[in-house]
């Protein structure tokens, strides 16, 4: 499959210049609350790209489906999720890279990190449930970074909320400025089709087989008698009224506002029925941004610079416990990444070359010779990389934008086997580099504290320490409400000295050596903040 697509690619399209390669890439993520339809939509997009032949071919990262305590299932799923980490396909001569984001809320931090590597996102919302908690969190991260967002309202084949009410909800709860680019004709049992405001035509829903993928008919004009014949005069009149309202109430689409994260196109459809997906995809390839420049601590790097640069946004441990090698996922920011060429690992200040970089296509990975900005390469790693590392042709730059967020759960981690202290430390170190959890070391006594987003990770860590590193650990409960990164304001030295003295028991260093205050309650945090105004307490490690 991979080879035939490559072959087609080479035959039909003349060799492309570096700039053309960049311009045709669309690297994005699909985010949603679990069960809204992210996996189904991903699969349907791949079908359109011809990357898979039938629905059901993508083995999704269905961690969310398992009971929350079933971490063995998660171990099994980890193997699958390597394959679905990046799903790439060609559509209308665009190279589309979909970066997978885990649905399970315990892995939200993984999703936040993946969002540093996307150039845009599609948010999937369930028409019946509306905006849900996880969607709110993820969209707020996208908005902080002005990532262009398209909204897909899914499951129109089911009864749900009124379309206008939903648009209101999206505006209010997510703070988005919605611009409907498609609009549903009916819903649930009465769902008849979709008006495409991008191309100004109607696609009729196939009444006969609501559960199969069908090439449903398109009516180019609202005045076409076929429309009324198909949907009836009442539905047609309602559609006309609603379209008038849409045009009156919502701004017209402005691509530059969308690209700046100021306007948010909305599509309606049913991923399961493959309906409204093509409208979404056709518009997406037209409007979504190609790879964007990225700021580093030193300067902004443009994708069309000749020198290669990229950063690690995800590390995936391999399933085979005998080979502790991992796959580091690099997003290429500029230049080309070429197999067997030495590149500078900036943090280690050493050159590394890679003989088998993986590229991703559909749900497979293959060794690739050259990759371009926007692409993701997977590099085999024996422990050199950690999340956020920069790789370049030689320039010493550091990409920013992979902050840590305060974990939700905290426990002391103890060594349960004194003979295996070295293994334990190595294991903890590497798992933290992978981003499985965060490690804090208490200033007072050097005790180690593990912080996680979900309680599930404690089981995962214990299991992996045992099976991959031969070490065993126990946990001890600890009452921490939030980890806050400490910043001393200008002239805040006196406050800082007082704070350090009274709160010494609650001060720790994170893995980068940054000072963190482990506040035991929201009240303590508030009191401490008002007592020491010379200090800023931050919810993330980058401020």
Report the alpha-carbon distance of residue 125 to residue 35 in Å, rounded: 9
158 lies in the binding site for ligand G4P (CB under 6 A):
yes
155 lies in the binding site for ligand G4P (CB under 6 A):
yes
271 lies in the binding site for ligand G4P (CB under 6 A):
yes
CB closer to ligand G4P out of 44 and 326: 44
Residue selected from 25, 27, 29, 36 as contacting ligand G4P according to rule CB under 6 A: 36
37 lies in the binding site for ligand G4P (CB under 6 A):
yes
Count of residues interacting with ligand G4P (CB under 6 A): 18
Encoded one letter per residue, x for contact with ligand G4P by CB under 6 A and - for no contact, window 42-71 reads ----------------------x-------
Report the alpha-carbon distance of residue 206 to residue 325 in Å, rounded: 49
Using DSSP's 3-state secondary structure scheme, residue 450 falls into: strand
CB 107 to ligand G4P: min, Å:
12
CB closer to ligand G4P out of 271 and 486: 271
Q: Work out the angle between the directed axes of helices 456-469 and 421-434 (0-180°, nearest 10).
A: 130
Beta strands in 127-253 (DSSP E): 149-154, 178-180, 182-185, 193-196, 201-204, 218-219
- Rounded to the nearest angstrom, the gap between the alpha carbon of residue 79 and the centroid of all alpha carbons in its chain is 18
Helix (H) or strand (E) holding 337: strand 337-338
Residue selected from 272, 280, 281, 315 as contacting ligand G4P according to rule CB under 6 A: 272
Beta strands in 238-308 (DSSP E): 264-268, 294-295, 300-301
Q: Are 120 and 265 in contact (CB under 8 A)?
A: no
Where do the H-state alpha helices sit in 383-521?
Answer: 421-434, 456-469, 493-502
Report the alpha-carbon distance of residue 457 to residue 444 in Å, rounded: 26
123 lies in the binding site for ligand G4P (CB under 6 A):
no
Encoded one letter per residue, x for contact with ligand G4P by CB under 6 A and - for no contact, window 447-486 reads ----------------------------------------
CB 506 to ligand G4P: min, Å:
38
Report the candidate in 52, 187, 43 with the shortest Cα–Cα distance to residue 124: 43
Report the alpha-carbon distance of residue 367 to residue 355 in Å, rounded: 9
Using the contact rule CB under 6 A, the part of the chain among 37-45, 73-81, 107-115, 455-463 near ligand G4P is: 37-45
CB 413 to ligand G4P: min, Å:
31
39 lies in the binding site for ligand G4P (CB under 6 A):
yes
- Rounded to the nearest angstrom, the gap between the alpha carbon of residue 33 and the centroid of all alpha carbons in its chain is 12
Tokens (6 digits) for 316: 């995936």
Q: Are 438 and 428 in contact (CB under 8 A)?
A: no
Residue selected from 81, 154, 415, 423 as contacting ligand G4P according to rule CB under 6 A: 154
180 lies in the binding site for ligand G4P (CB under 6 A):
no
Residue selected from 38, 94, 236, 386 as contacting ligand G4P according to rule CB under 6 A: 38
Residue selected from 106, 110, 157, 206 as contacting ligand G4P according to rule CB under 6 A: 157
CB closer to ligand G4P out of 284 and 458: 284
Using the contact rule CB under 6 A, the part of the chain among 35-43, 415-423, 507-515, 517-525 near ligand G4P is: 35-43
CB closer to ligand G4P out of 83 and 488: 83
77 lies in the binding site for ligand G4P (CB under 6 A):
no
103 lies in the binding site for ligand G4P (CB under 6 A):
yes
Q: What phi and psi, each to the nearest 5 degrees, are found at residue 504?
A: -55, -35
Helix (H) or strand (E) holding 161: none
Residues that bind ligand G4P (CB under 6 A): 32, 34-40, 64, 103, 154-155, 157-158, 270-273
């Amino acid at each position: 499959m991979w080879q035939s697509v490559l072959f087609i690619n080479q035959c039909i399209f003349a060799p492309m210049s570096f700039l053309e390669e960049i311009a045709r890439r669309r690297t994005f993520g699909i985010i949603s609350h679990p069960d809204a339809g992210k996996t189904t939509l991903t699969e349907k997009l791949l079908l359109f790209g011809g990357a898979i032949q039938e629905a059901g071919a993508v083995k999704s990262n269905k961690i969310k489906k398992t009971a929350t305590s079933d971490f063995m299932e998660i171990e099994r799923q980890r193997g699958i999720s390597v394959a679905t980490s990046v799903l790439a396909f060609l559509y209308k001569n665009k190279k589309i890279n979909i970066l997978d984001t885990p649905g399970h809320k315990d892995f939200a931090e993984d999703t936040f990190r993946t969002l540093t590597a996307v150039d845009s996102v599609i948010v999937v919302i369930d028409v019946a449930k509306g905006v849900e908690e996880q969607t709110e969190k993820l969209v707020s991260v996208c908005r902080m970074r002005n990532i262009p967002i398209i909204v897909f309202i899914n499951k129109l084949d089911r009864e749900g909320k009124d379309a206008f009410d939903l648009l209101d909800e999206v505006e209010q709860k997510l703070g988005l400025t919605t611009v409907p680019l498609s609009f549903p004709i009916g819903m649930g049992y009465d769902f008849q089709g979709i008006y495409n405001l991008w191309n100004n035509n109607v696609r009729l829903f196939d009444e006969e087989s609501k559960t199969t993928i069908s090439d449903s008919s398109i009516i180019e004009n609202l005045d076409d008698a076929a429309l009324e014949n198909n949907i009836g005069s009442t539905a047609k009149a309602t559609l006309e009224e609603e379209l008038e309202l849409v045009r009156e109430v919502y701004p017209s689409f402005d691509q530059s506002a969308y690209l700046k994260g100021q306007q948010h196109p909305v599509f309606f459809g049913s991923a399961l029925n493959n309906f409204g997906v093509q409208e979404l995809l056709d518009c997406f390839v037209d409007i979504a941004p190609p790879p964007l420049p990225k700021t580093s601590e030193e300067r902004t790097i443009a994708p069309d610079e000749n020198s290669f640069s990229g950063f690690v946004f995800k590390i995936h441990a391999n399933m085979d416990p005998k080979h502790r090698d991992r796959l580091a996922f690099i997003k290429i920011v500029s230049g080309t990444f070429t197999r067997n060429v030495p590149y500078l690992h900036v943090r280690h200040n050493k050159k590394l070359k890679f003989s088998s970089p993986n590229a991703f296509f559909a749900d497979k990975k293959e060794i690739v010779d050259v990759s371009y900005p926007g692409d993701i390469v997977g590099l085999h790693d024996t422990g050199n990389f950690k999340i956020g590392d920069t790789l370049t042709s030689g320039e010493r730059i550091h990409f920013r934008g992979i902050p840590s967020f305060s974990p939700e759960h905290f426990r002391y981690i103890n060594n349960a086997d004194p003979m295996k202290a070295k293994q334990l430390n190595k294991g903890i170190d590497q798992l933290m580099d992978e981003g499985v959890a965060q490690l804090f070391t208490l200033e007072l006594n050097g005790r180690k504290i593990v912080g996680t987003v979900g309680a599930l990770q404690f089981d995962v860590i214990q299991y992996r320490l045992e099976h991959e590193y031969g070490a065993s650990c126990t946990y001890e409960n600890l009452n921490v409400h939030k980890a806050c990164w400490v910043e001393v304001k200008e002239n805040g030295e006196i406050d800082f000295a007082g704070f350090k003295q009274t709160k010494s028991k609650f001060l720790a260093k994170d893995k980068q050596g940054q000072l963190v205050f482990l506040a035991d309650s929201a009240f303590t945090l508030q009191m401490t903040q008002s007592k020491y105004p010379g200090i800023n307490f931050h919810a993330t490690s980058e401020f």
